[in-house]
Structure 1
Amino acid sequence: MNIILDRPRIADGQDYSPPAPPPRLALRPANAAPGLLDGAWWPRSRDLTRELPALIDTLDRSWARVTRVAVHPSLWPVIPHKVPASGHVVHVGWFNEQDANKLLLLSYTTGRLDLLVIPPECDLAAATRLMAAAADPRCRRTASGIMADDECLTVRRGEADWEAEGGAPSAAGTAAMAVRAGGMWA
Protein backbone atom coordinates (compact mmCIF):
# COMPACT_ATOMS: atom_id res chain seq x y z
CA MET A 1 0.00 0.00 0.00
CA ASN A 2 1.30 3.47 -0.91
CA ILE A 3 0.72 6.39 1.41
CA ILE A 4 0.94 9.89 0.05
CA LEU A 5 1.23 12.75 2.50
CA ASP A 6 0.25 16.30 1.63
CA ARG A 7 3.19 17.57 3.69
CA PRO A 8 6.12 15.17 3.70
CA ARG A 9 8.06 14.85 6.95
CA ILE A 10 11.77 15.54 6.95
CA ALA A 11 14.34 13.74 9.09
CA ASP A 12 14.06 15.90 12.22
CA GLY A 13 10.28 15.48 12.42
CA GLN A 14 9.39 18.97 11.20
CA ASP A 15 6.69 19.49 8.62
CA TYR A 16 7.95 20.48 5.22
CA SER A 17 5.80 22.75 3.08
CA PRO A 18 6.98 23.42 -0.43
CA PRO A 19 7.68 27.10 -1.06
CA ALA A 20 4.78 29.12 -2.38
CA PRO A 21 5.09 30.04 -6.04
CA PRO A 22 6.13 33.65 -6.64
CA PRO A 23 3.25 36.10 -6.90
CA ARG A 24 2.04 37.15 -10.32
CA LEU A 25 2.70 40.84 -9.96
CA ALA A 26 3.30 43.82 -12.26
CA LEU A 27 4.36 47.19 -10.82
CA ARG A 28 4.70 50.62 -12.38
CA PRO A 29 8.30 51.78 -12.79
CA ALA A 30 9.63 53.30 -9.56
CA ASN A 31 10.32 56.66 -11.23
CA ALA A 32 6.81 56.96 -12.74
CA ALA A 33 4.51 59.79 -11.72
CA PRO A 34 1.86 58.78 -9.17
CA GLY A 35 -1.39 57.45 -10.60
CA LEU A 36 -4.56 55.80 -9.39
CA LEU A 37 -2.90 52.37 -9.49
CA ASP A 38 0.63 51.19 -8.83
CA GLY A 39 0.28 47.89 -10.65
CA ALA A 40 -1.64 44.62 -10.64
CA TRP A 41 -1.70 41.33 -8.76
CA TRP A 42 -3.10 38.08 -10.15
CA PRO A 43 -3.66 35.65 -7.25
CA ARG A 44 -4.02 31.94 -7.91
CA SER A 45 -7.06 31.56 -5.62
CA ARG A 46 -9.47 33.55 -3.47
CA ASP A 47 -7.77 32.36 -0.27
CA LEU A 48 -6.09 35.43 1.26
CA THR A 49 -4.38 33.38 3.96
CA ARG A 50 -2.64 31.38 1.25
CA GLU A 51 -2.08 34.15 -1.33
CA LEU A 52 -0.99 37.18 0.69
CA PRO A 53 2.24 35.85 2.29
CA ALA A 54 4.06 35.45 -1.05
CA LEU A 55 2.88 38.88 -2.21
CA ILE A 56 3.91 40.51 1.06
CA ASP A 57 7.31 38.79 1.10
CA THR A 58 8.02 39.99 -2.43
CA LEU A 59 6.96 43.56 -1.67
CA ASP A 60 8.90 43.56 1.62
CA ARG A 61 12.06 42.94 -0.43
CA SER A 62 11.35 45.17 -3.41
CA TRP A 63 9.23 48.04 -2.06
CA ALA A 64 8.93 48.38 1.72
CA ARG A 65 7.81 46.39 4.74
CA VAL A 66 4.06 45.87 4.39
CA THR A 67 2.19 46.46 7.65
CA ARG A 68 -1.48 46.48 6.61
CA VAL A 69 -3.63 45.25 3.74
CA ALA A 70 -7.16 46.39 2.85
CA VAL A 71 -9.50 44.53 0.52
CA HIS A 72 -13.10 44.77 -0.62
CA PRO A 73 -15.12 41.88 0.88
CA SER A 74 -16.96 41.00 -2.33
CA LEU A 75 -13.97 39.18 -3.87
CA TRP A 76 -12.82 37.23 -0.82
CA PRO A 77 -14.99 34.59 0.89
CA VAL A 78 -12.87 34.71 4.07
CA ILE A 79 -10.86 37.70 5.23
CA PRO A 80 -8.35 36.87 7.95
CA HIS A 81 -7.56 39.53 10.57
CA LYS A 82 -3.83 38.79 10.38
CA VAL A 83 -1.54 37.06 7.90
CA PRO A 84 1.95 35.82 8.73
CA ALA A 85 4.79 37.05 6.55
CA SER A 86 8.54 36.51 6.83
CA GLY A 87 9.47 37.87 10.22
CA HIS A 88 6.27 39.79 10.96
CA VAL A 89 2.49 39.74 10.95
CA VAL A 90 0.39 41.87 8.61
CA HIS A 91 -3.04 43.15 9.64
CA VAL A 92 -5.80 42.66 7.08
CA GLY A 93 -8.97 44.72 6.94
CA TRP A 94 -11.82 45.33 4.56
CA PHE A 95 -13.83 48.32 3.40
CA ASN A 96 -17.08 48.29 1.42
CA GLU A 97 -16.27 51.78 0.14
CA GLN A 98 -13.02 50.63 -1.49
CA ASP A 99 -12.97 49.80 -5.20
CA ALA A 100 -13.96 46.12 -5.37
CA ASN A 101 -11.12 45.32 -7.79
CA LYS A 102 -8.37 46.94 -5.74
CA LEU A 103 -6.00 45.79 -3.02
CA LEU A 104 -4.44 48.45 -0.80
CA LEU A 105 -1.09 47.76 0.89
CA LEU A 106 0.32 50.08 3.54
CA SER A 107 3.85 50.60 4.83
CA TYR A 108 4.82 52.81 7.77
CA THR A 109 7.92 54.00 5.94
CA THR A 110 6.91 54.36 2.30
CA GLY A 111 3.19 54.98 2.16
CA ARG A 112 0.84 52.83 0.12
CA LEU A 113 0.47 50.73 -3.01
CA ASP A 114 -2.84 50.36 -4.83
CA LEU A 115 -3.00 47.20 -6.93
CA LEU A 116 -5.61 46.00 -9.39
CA VAL A 117 -6.72 42.51 -8.33
CA ILE A 118 -7.18 40.30 -11.36
CA PRO A 119 -9.66 37.48 -10.67
CA PRO A 120 -7.89 34.12 -10.27
CA GLU A 121 -10.19 32.56 -12.87
CA CYS A 122 -9.09 35.06 -15.51
CA ASP A 123 -7.41 33.56 -18.58
CA LEU A 124 -3.76 34.28 -19.37
CA ALA A 125 -4.42 36.63 -22.30
CA ALA A 126 -6.86 38.82 -20.35
CA ALA A 127 -4.63 38.81 -17.25
CA THR A 128 -1.65 39.89 -19.36
CA ARG A 129 -3.64 42.80 -20.82
CA LEU A 130 -4.93 43.85 -17.41
CA MET A 131 -1.49 43.69 -15.78
CA ALA A 132 0.04 45.74 -18.56
CA ALA A 133 -2.71 48.35 -18.33
CA ALA A 134 -2.45 48.70 -14.53
CA ALA A 135 1.36 48.96 -14.60
CA ASP A 136 1.40 51.48 -17.47
CA PRO A 137 2.69 54.83 -16.12
CA ARG A 138 0.25 56.66 -18.42
CA CYS A 139 -2.79 54.85 -17.00
CA ARG A 140 -5.26 57.16 -15.27
CA ARG A 141 -8.06 54.61 -14.79
CA THR A 142 -9.44 53.10 -11.60
CA ALA A 143 -9.19 49.37 -10.99
CA SER A 144 -12.87 48.87 -11.85
CA GLY A 145 -12.44 51.15 -14.87
CA ILE A 146 -9.66 48.95 -16.25
CA MET A 147 -11.74 45.83 -15.62
CA ALA A 148 -14.74 47.39 -17.39
CA ASP A 149 -12.57 48.49 -20.33
CA ASP A 150 -11.23 44.97 -20.77
CA GLU A 151 -14.72 43.49 -20.44
CA CYS A 152 -15.79 45.87 -23.20
CA LEU A 153 -12.95 44.68 -25.43
CA THR A 154 -13.94 41.08 -24.76
CA VAL A 155 -17.57 41.85 -25.68
CA ARG A 156 -16.45 43.59 -28.87
CA ARG A 157 -14.17 40.71 -29.85
CA GLY A 158 -16.97 38.20 -29.25
CA GLU A 159 -19.41 40.24 -31.32
CA ALA A 160 -16.84 40.70 -34.08
CA ASP A 161 -16.36 36.93 -34.23
CA TRP A 162 -20.13 36.46 -34.32
CA GLU A 163 -20.52 39.04 -37.10
CA ALA A 164 -17.76 37.33 -39.11
CA GLU A 165 -19.83 34.15 -38.98
CA GLY A 166 -22.88 35.89 -40.48
CA GLY A 167 -24.58 37.38 -37.41
CA ALA A 168 -25.43 41.03 -36.78
CA PRO A 169 -25.19 42.94 -33.50
CA SER A 170 -28.39 43.89 -31.75
CA ALA A 171 -29.32 47.57 -31.37
CA ALA A 172 -29.09 47.25 -27.55
CA GLY A 173 -25.66 45.61 -27.80
CA THR A 174 -24.41 48.33 -30.15
CA ALA A 175 -25.70 51.08 -27.82
CA ALA A 176 -24.10 49.45 -24.78
CA MET A 177 -20.76 49.18 -26.60
CA ALA A 178 -20.98 52.83 -27.66
CA VAL A 179 -21.57 53.99 -24.08
CA ARG A 180 -18.64 51.87 -22.79
CA ALA A 181 -16.33 52.95 -25.60
CA GLY A 182 -17.17 56.59 -24.95
CA GLY A 183 -15.67 56.38 -21.48
CA MET A 184 -18.93 56.65 -19.56
CA TRP A 185 -17.74 54.03 -17.08
CA ALA A 186 -15.21 55.10 -14.48
Structure 2
Amino acid sequence: MAAARWGVRRAGHGWLPRGPLSGADPRGRRSDVQQCAGQGIEEVTIATTAERATAVPTGPPTHPRLVLAPDRLNRAVLDGGWWPRSADALAELPGLVLTLAARFGPIRRLMLNSDSWDGHFRRLAVGDRVVRAGWFATVDAAVVIATTEQGMQIDLLVVPPGTGAAAAEAAMATAADPANRLRAPAILAERPAVDGRPGAGDSQSVWDNEGGHGAGPAVR
Protein backbone atom coordinates (compact mmCIF):
# COMPACT_ATOMS: atom_id res chain seq x y z
CA MET A 1 0.00 0.00 0.00
CA ALA A 2 1.40 3.33 -1.02
CA ALA A 3 2.33 5.71 1.74
CA ALA A 4 0.44 8.97 2.12
CA ARG A 5 1.96 11.95 0.33
CA TRP A 6 1.47 15.48 1.48
CA GLY A 7 2.79 18.92 0.75
CA VAL A 8 1.67 22.13 -0.86
CA ARG A 9 1.10 22.90 -4.51
CA ARG A 10 1.01 26.29 -6.25
CA ALA A 11 -0.55 26.60 -9.68
CA GLY A 12 2.19 26.31 -12.29
CA HIS A 13 4.91 25.50 -9.74
CA GLY A 14 4.32 21.83 -8.91
CA TRP A 15 5.01 20.46 -5.44
CA LEU A 16 6.71 22.68 -2.89
CA PRO A 17 8.13 21.52 0.45
CA ARG A 18 6.16 22.48 3.50
CA GLY A 19 7.74 25.01 5.84
CA PRO A 20 7.58 24.69 9.64
CA LEU A 21 4.03 24.71 10.92
CA SER A 22 3.70 27.50 13.45
CA GLY A 23 0.90 25.76 15.31
CA ALA A 24 0.27 27.42 18.65
CA ASP A 25 -1.29 30.73 17.88
CA PRO A 26 -5.09 30.85 17.92
CA ARG A 27 -5.49 34.59 18.46
CA GLY A 28 -4.95 36.56 15.29
CA ARG A 29 -1.68 34.96 14.17
CA ARG A 30 -2.40 32.55 11.34
CA SER A 31 -0.92 29.07 11.11
CA ASP A 32 1.19 28.14 8.09
CA VAL A 33 -1.75 26.23 6.62
CA GLN A 34 -3.84 29.42 6.75
CA GLN A 35 -0.96 31.49 5.41
CA CYS A 36 -0.56 29.12 2.46
CA ALA A 37 -4.25 29.52 1.67
CA GLY A 38 -3.85 33.28 1.74
CA GLN A 39 -0.97 33.06 -0.76
CA GLY A 40 -2.88 30.99 -3.30
CA ILE A 41 -1.20 27.75 -2.26
CA GLU A 42 -3.33 24.63 -2.10
CA GLU A 43 -2.58 22.01 0.55
CA VAL A 44 -2.89 18.60 -1.08
CA THR A 45 -3.01 15.32 0.79
CA ILE A 46 -3.11 11.93 -0.91
CA ALA A 47 -4.13 9.36 1.68
CA THR A 48 -4.29 5.60 1.59
CA THR A 49 -7.67 3.85 1.42
CA ALA A 50 -7.47 2.99 5.12
CA GLU A 51 -6.69 6.59 6.04
CA ARG A 52 -9.65 7.89 4.01
CA ALA A 53 -12.09 5.67 5.90
CA THR A 54 -13.83 7.08 8.97
CA ALA A 55 -12.39 5.60 12.17
CA VAL A 56 -15.03 4.45 14.63
CA PRO A 57 -14.01 3.92 18.30
CA THR A 58 -14.78 0.46 19.61
CA GLY A 59 -15.37 1.54 23.20
CA PRO A 60 -16.69 4.49 25.20
CA PRO A 61 -14.56 7.66 25.22
CA THR A 62 -12.08 8.06 28.04
CA HIS A 63 -12.19 11.00 30.44
CA PRO A 64 -9.25 13.18 29.37
CA ARG A 65 -6.67 14.40 31.83
CA LEU A 66 -7.03 18.00 30.77
CA VAL A 67 -6.48 21.40 32.35
CA LEU A 68 -7.92 24.40 30.50
CA ALA A 69 -7.29 28.08 31.04
CA PRO A 70 -10.18 29.73 32.90
CA ASP A 71 -10.54 32.29 30.08
CA ARG A 72 -9.22 32.59 26.54
CA LEU A 73 -7.04 35.69 26.25
CA ASN A 74 -5.62 37.12 23.04
CA ARG A 75 -2.15 37.25 24.50
CA ALA A 76 -2.13 33.67 25.81
CA VAL A 77 0.31 31.24 24.18
CA LEU A 78 -1.68 28.08 24.96
CA ASP A 79 -5.23 27.26 25.95
CA GLY A 80 -4.34 24.44 28.34
CA GLY A 81 -2.58 21.13 28.73
CA TRP A 82 -3.55 17.53 27.96
CA TRP A 83 -1.97 14.37 29.36
CA PRO A 84 -3.07 11.37 27.25
CA ARG A 85 -2.77 7.89 28.70
CA SER A 86 -1.30 6.32 25.56
CA ALA A 87 -0.27 6.99 21.96
CA ASP A 88 -3.43 5.27 20.68
CA ALA A 89 -5.16 8.10 18.81
CA LEU A 90 -8.42 6.18 18.38
CA ALA A 91 -8.66 5.63 22.14
CA GLU A 92 -7.50 9.07 23.27
CA LEU A 93 -8.98 11.62 20.86
CA PRO A 94 -12.76 11.04 21.21
CA GLY A 95 -12.79 12.00 24.89
CA LEU A 96 -10.68 15.08 24.19
CA VAL A 97 -12.96 16.16 21.33
CA LEU A 98 -16.12 15.76 23.42
CA THR A 99 -14.67 17.72 26.33
CA LEU A 100 -13.42 20.54 24.12
CA ALA A 101 -16.77 20.65 22.32
CA ALA A 102 -18.60 21.05 25.63
CA ARG A 103 -16.47 24.13 26.37
CA PHE A 104 -15.86 25.72 22.97
CA GLY A 105 -18.47 24.27 20.61
CA PRO A 106 -18.32 21.46 18.02
CA ILE A 107 -14.81 20.52 16.87
CA ARG A 108 -14.24 20.37 13.11
CA ARG A 109 -10.56 19.46 12.76
CA LEU A 110 -7.53 18.24 14.70
CA MET A 111 -3.88 18.68 13.76
CA LEU A 112 -1.28 16.43 15.38
CA ASN A 113 2.32 15.31 15.07
CA SER A 114 2.56 12.31 12.77
CA ASP A 115 5.41 10.59 14.62
CA SER A 116 3.89 10.61 18.11
CA TRP A 117 0.61 8.78 17.50
CA ASP A 118 -0.55 5.36 16.36
CA GLY A 119 -3.35 5.25 13.80
CA HIS A 120 -3.33 8.04 11.21
CA PHE A 121 -6.99 8.11 10.21
CA ARG A 122 -8.30 11.15 8.34
CA ARG A 123 -11.80 11.13 9.82
CA LEU A 124 -12.94 10.23 13.32
CA ALA A 125 -16.50 9.49 14.38
CA VAL A 126 -17.25 11.20 17.69
CA GLY A 127 -20.86 10.92 18.82
CA ASP A 128 -23.04 12.00 15.91
CA ARG A 129 -20.27 14.04 14.26
CA VAL A 130 -17.21 13.34 12.13
CA VAL A 131 -13.99 15.20 12.95
CA ARG A 132 -11.21 15.55 10.39
CA ALA A 133 -7.66 14.76 11.51
CA GLY A 134 -4.42 15.97 9.95
CA TRP A 135 -1.05 14.37 10.74
CA PHE A 136 2.08 16.43 10.10
CA ALA A 137 5.74 15.90 10.91
CA THR A 138 6.05 19.67 11.17
CA VAL A 139 3.51 19.99 13.98
CA ASP A 140 5.47 19.84 17.22
CA ALA A 141 4.94 16.65 19.20
CA ALA A 142 4.22 18.78 22.26
CA VAL A 143 1.13 20.37 20.67
CA VAL A 144 -2.33 19.37 19.47
CA ILE A 145 -4.38 21.95 17.57
CA ALA A 146 -8.18 21.80 17.46
CA THR A 147 -10.40 24.00 15.31
CA THR A 148 -14.07 24.54 16.06
CA GLU A 149 -16.88 24.82 13.53
CA GLN A 150 -16.78 28.59 14.12
CA GLY A 151 -13.08 28.75 13.23
CA MET A 152 -11.72 29.14 16.77
CA GLN A 153 -8.26 27.58 17.13
CA ILE A 154 -7.47 25.82 20.41
CA ASP A 155 -3.82 25.01 21.14
CA LEU A 156 -2.99 22.49 23.83
CA LEU A 157 0.24 21.28 25.34
CA VAL A 158 0.56 17.49 24.98
CA VAL A 159 2.34 15.88 27.94
CA PRO A 160 3.91 12.52 26.98
CA PRO A 161 1.89 9.60 28.39
CA GLY A 162 4.78 8.16 30.40
CA THR A 163 5.42 11.37 32.33
CA GLY A 164 5.17 11.16 36.12
CA ALA A 165 2.12 12.62 37.81
CA ALA A 166 3.78 15.59 39.53
CA ALA A 167 5.66 16.69 36.42
CA ALA A 168 2.60 16.24 34.19
CA GLU A 169 0.34 18.23 36.49
CA ALA A 170 2.88 21.03 36.78
CA ALA A 171 3.27 21.20 33.01
CA MET A 172 -0.51 21.31 32.43
CA ALA A 173 -0.92 23.99 35.07
CA THR A 174 1.73 26.12 33.36
CA ALA A 175 0.08 25.69 29.97
CA ALA A 176 -3.30 26.75 31.42
CA ASP A 177 -1.88 29.78 33.20
CA PRO A 178 -2.95 32.97 31.35
CA ALA A 179 0.33 34.59 32.41
CA ASN A 180 2.44 31.85 30.80
CA ARG A 181 4.73 32.98 27.97
CA LEU A 182 6.45 29.66 27.31
CA ARG A 183 5.63 27.60 24.27
CA ALA A 184 4.86 23.91 24.62
CA PRO A 185 8.38 22.47 24.00
CA ALA A 186 9.88 24.89 26.52
CA ILE A 187 7.34 23.85 29.16
CA LEU A 188 8.22 20.18 28.74
CA ALA A 189 11.95 20.97 28.76
CA GLU A 190 11.58 22.45 32.23
CA ARG A 191 9.96 19.27 33.61
CA PRO A 192 11.60 15.87 34.15
CA ALA A 193 10.29 13.19 31.82
CA VAL A 194 9.69 10.77 34.69
CA ASP A 195 8.58 11.58 38.20
CA GLY A 196 11.21 10.38 40.67
CA ARG A 197 8.87 9.91 43.62
CA PRO A 198 8.38 6.34 44.86
CA GLY A 199 5.28 4.83 43.31
CA ALA A 200 4.82 7.66 40.87
CA GLY A 201 5.07 5.37 37.86
CA ASP A 202 1.35 4.56 38.04
CA SER A 203 0.48 8.04 36.83
CA GLN A 204 -3.02 7.16 35.64
CA SER A 205 -4.19 5.85 39.01
CA VAL A 206 -2.64 8.82 40.82
CA TRP A 207 -4.58 11.27 38.65
CA ASP A 208 -7.84 9.32 38.69
CA ASN A 209 -7.79 8.69 42.45
CA GLU A 210 -6.68 12.15 43.54
CA GLY A 211 -8.65 14.18 41.01
CA GLY A 212 -5.75 16.06 39.45
CA HIS A 213 -4.09 19.28 40.52
CA GLY A 214 -2.85 22.52 39.07
CA ALA A 215 -3.99 26.04 38.26
CA GLY A 216 -7.14 26.39 36.23
CA PRO A 217 -10.12 24.05 36.08
CA ALA A 218 -9.16 20.39 35.76
CA VAL A 219 -11.45 18.45 33.44
CA ARG A 220 -11.68 14.78 34.26
Taking structure 2 as the reference length, the TM-score comes to 0.58
1:120 corresponds to which residue? 161
| Residue 38 (1) aligns with residue 79 (2) | yes
Q: Which residue of 1 aligns with 2:176?
A: 135
Size of the aligned set, in residue pairs, is: 140
Give the conservation status (yes or no) of the 8 Å contact 2:167–2:192.
no
Cα distance change, pair 57–132 in 1 and its aligned pair in 2 (3 A)? same
Unaligned runs of at least 5 residues, structure 1: 1-16, 158-186
Which has a greater percent of strand?
2
Aligned mates of 1:36, 1:99 — CA distance in 2: 14
Match of 2:100 among 48, 59, 64: 59
CA RMSD of aligned residues (A): 2.3
Q: Tell me, which stretches of 5 or more residues in structure 2 are unaligned? A: 1-57, 197-220
State whether residues 104 and 148 of structure 2, in contact with CA within 8 Å, keep that contact through their aligned partners in structure 1: no
> Which structure has the larger Rg?
1
Secondary structure of 1:113's counterpart equals strand
* Deviation for aligned residue 1:78: 2.4
Give identity over the alignment, percent: 36
| Large movers: runs of 4+ above 6 Å | none
Amino acid at match of 1:34: R
- What is the rounded CA distance, in whole Å, between the counterparts of 1:130 and 1:121 in structure 2? 13
| Residue 86 of structure 1: how far off its partner (Å) | 1.6
1:110 CA displacement: 4.7
Deviation at 1:35, TM superposition (A): 1.7
**Alignment-derived partner of residue 97 in structure 1:** 138
Please give the alpha-carbon distance, in whole angstroms, between the structure 1 residues aligned to 2:106 and 2:100: 7
Q: Flag the 1:18–1:125 CA change in 2: closer, same or farther, 3 A.
A: same
What's the CA shift for 1:31? 4.9
Change (3 A) 1:36 1:82: same
What displacement does 1:96 show? 2.0
The question of whether the paired residues in 1 share the 8 Å contact of 2:76 and 2:178 is answered with: yes
